[in-house]
Structure 1
Amino acid sequence: MCTDSQLHLDWQWNVNPWSKQDNPSSALGLFLCGALSGDYPHSSDHAFRWLLYGQRQNAAATASYERCLAQGELHLYSAVAGAAGDRVPDFEDVLIHLEWQAYADPLSLDRALSARTAGGSEASAVVRDIAALYNLLQGASISPNVCQLYRACWQVDPDRLFAAAQRMLDGIKSGRMLHPYLLGAEPAPTSLANVVPR
């Protein structure tokens, strides 16, 4: 999907924090506002302008984005959401980060899974899947490395990624997962909280 844009998009994700409009999350969030609700009539145009803004000094990147958009808006934003460069998906590593996220921001997992399975939504399944990934990424936004890993896994097998997230969320909700700190452990180099994210 938009292979000539993938490296540019991955770079744009990795070098810009979520707090900057240069990060693709600004464009993706605005696109989703319109796609999910239909209440933002100019969201598509503004989203694309933010995406271009993040590459305003790279004509090759902006030209590749234009070509990707010509293949369809969903095609473009699927590429934006899943851009991971040449990152190899590692579902074992994902489990570690999802466990940390379940402790640190369980609501992000809940939002992600709810977005993916929203019943009766007018939005297409593709849009809901993008929204689910967006929420999952938001919960790990302090670590570009983790976000890249999530995007790489989503590209290859979104069902497996979200099934892992569901297992973590179920563990938190049922009380089966209790962080070692809550059991009296002290912070240590081998502690989950100090190992991830990285």
Structure 2
Amino acid sequence: MAKNVMIAYGSRYGCTEEVSKEIGKTLEAAGITTKIINLGGLKESDIPSIENFDGVLVGSGIKVGKWTNEADLFIDKNKDRFKDTIFGMFACAGFVANDPEKSKDMYVEEKIQKLGLNPDVYDIFGGVFDLSRKSKAGFMDRKIMSIAAKGLEREKGIKIEKKGKNDFRDWNQIKLFTLKFAELVKSK
């Protein structure tokens, strides 16, 4: 019988949504049926029960050090149920480019400890600073991203497109994380 997985995510500007969709494609290619749920704006009754899945991945974008509210609420509501399934977590944050280990500790490991979670896999991926006019981020958020991007350029020598899209995601890292999760789900 085919295994099935839910990817539930919260995304502010689209980065985590794109990562979730790529994870879904990789899982599907590995023979795992995948249901991708954007938690943003959904009523609790619209979200399928995690008991219907062999595995659950929860992802969120990070803004000012915080997960999205919807991802936080989903985790809080289901934290006791995660023990009965293969459970993974991931976050996307622009500051991963500055210090990946510190980012993983601050944005994922601290959340795991604070909530008493025990995910089978977890990771943090680079984010996107979209400074273009086509960005989903509003004017003020682009200004804040611009300041953060200038800091990355100054401190790490990372070339920043001042009016463009700066993508810090490592798609190979994301694929390896996904394949590890797929192995766990298939072995369940």
Same topology, TM > 0.5: no
Q: Please identify the structure whose Cα radius of gyration is greater.
A: 1
Relative to its length, the structure with more strand (as a share) is 2
Shorter-chain TM-score category?
A: under 0.3
